[in-house]
């Protein structure tokens, strides 16, 4: 992803109002974790949609939207591995679709734990591997999906550089499945809590591709289907909400 692509995503978002409807439940899952009048740091803010929604829905929040790329709609240019934020400063660190881009997740988790206030949490919505989602991410998505990757060095770069927005949908899944409570504690976090999410409405919207198979009037019906089939999300899910509380 590059700055021109962020602008393209904003153009597609403006031209496809159904996208905002599709993303709204995921935005709400994240914002509902921020206490009233609390502070939040969004990491990987990209095209800025979560922050724009938050400012309309939760004007009580002090939210800072940060991304590694400079963009006029975000508040802060920052590397997620070296956040320019003082320790214990924010109630919640949150984000959508950025963990699966991290070359060195351990450095990010340490930083997130550092900037979280006592009792705070890190919350993300990310791709998740299920029998239904795997072929979609593996063969129909530009980023791919390699379940056998090393989640702590998913792109084989060690301490070296990586193109910022290369991603792999299997990274969050592998991190959660293969990391011990002791390892999370070493990073300053409690073991993660997980909520699997269906994504039929998202699939029919075609995401940020031009065009859509989901008429806006049918979006509520397919979102109701997503919610109604929640018990089947271990088989049919496309995303997950993952929450790490700061370790005491």
CA dist 70 to 25, 46, 48, Å? 27, 9, 11
Take residue 210 and report the two structure tokens written for it. 């031009």
Pairwise CA distance, residues 22 & 58, whole Å: 19
3-state secondary structure of 133: helix
Residue-level pLDDT at 165: 72
Q: Cα 54–55–60 angle (5° rounding)?
A: 95
First to last CA, the chain: 36
Residue-level pLDDT at 157: 80
pLDDT digits (tens, 9 = 90+) for 56-97: 999 999 999 999 999 999 999 999 999 999 999 999 999 999
3-state secondary structure of 194: strand
- Read off φ and ψ for residue 149, nearest 5 degrees: -65, 160
* Percentages (nearest 5) of helix, strand, coil residues in the chain: 40, 20, 40
Residue-level pLDDT at 161: 65
Q: How many other C-beta atoms lie within 10 A of the C-beta of residue 229?
A: 14
Pairwise CA distance, residues 114 & 247, whole Å: 10
Residue-level pLDDT at 2: 80
Q: Which domains does the chain have, with CATH numbers?
A: 3-245 (3.40.50.150)
Residue-level pLDDT at 146: 97
User: 182: number of CA atoms within 13 Å, CB side?
Assistant: 0
Residue-level pLDDT at 3: 86
Pairwise CA distance, residues 247 & 121, whole Å: 9
Cβ neighbours of residue 208 closer than 8 Å, sequence gap 6 or more: 8, 9, 12, 13, 19
DSSP 209: S
Long-range interactions of 220-224: CB distance < 8 A, separation 24+: 220/21, 223/21, 223/22, 223/25
Take residue 77 and report the two structure tokens written for it. 């240019």
Which burial class, exposed, middle or buried, applies to 110 when counting CB atoms under 10 A from its CB (0-12, 13-18, 19+)? Answer: middle
pTM of the model: 0.96
Residue-level pLDDT at 160: 64
Pairwise CA distance, residues 220 & 240, whole Å: 20
Residue-level pLDDT at 117: 98
State which residues of the chain have pLDDT below 70: 1, 159-162, 164
């Amino acid at each position: 992803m590059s700055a021109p692509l962020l602008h393209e995503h904003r153009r597609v978002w403006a031209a496809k109002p159904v996208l905002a409807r599709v993303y709204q439940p995921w935005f709400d899952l994240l914002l509902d974790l921020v206490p009233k009048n609390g502070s939040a740091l969004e990491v990987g803010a990209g095209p800025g949609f979560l922050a724009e929604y938050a400012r309309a829905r939760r004007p009580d929040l002090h939210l800072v939207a940060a991304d590694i790329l400079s963009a006029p709609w975000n508040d802060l240019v920052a590397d997620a591995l070296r956040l320019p934020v003082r320790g214990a400063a924010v109630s919640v660190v949150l984000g959508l679709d950025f963990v699966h881009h991290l070359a060195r997740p351990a450095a990010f988790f340490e930083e997130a734990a550092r900037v979280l206030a006592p009792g705070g949490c890190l919350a993300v919505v990310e791709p998740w591997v299920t029998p239904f989602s795997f072929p979609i991410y593996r063969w129909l998505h530009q980023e791919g999906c390699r379940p056998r990757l090393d989640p702590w060095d998913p792109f084989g770069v060690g301490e070296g550089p990586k193109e910022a927005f290369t991603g792999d949908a299997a990274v969050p899944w592998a991190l959660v499945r293969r990391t011990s409570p002791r390892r999370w504690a070493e990073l300053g976090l409690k073991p993660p809590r997980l909520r699997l999410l269906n994504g039929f409405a998202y699939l029919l919207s075609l995401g940020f591709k031009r065009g859509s198979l989901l008429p806006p009037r049918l979006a509520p019906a397919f979102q109701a289907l997503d919610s109604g089939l929640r018990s089947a999300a271990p088989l049919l899910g496309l995303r997950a909400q993952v929450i790490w509380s700061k370790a005491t």
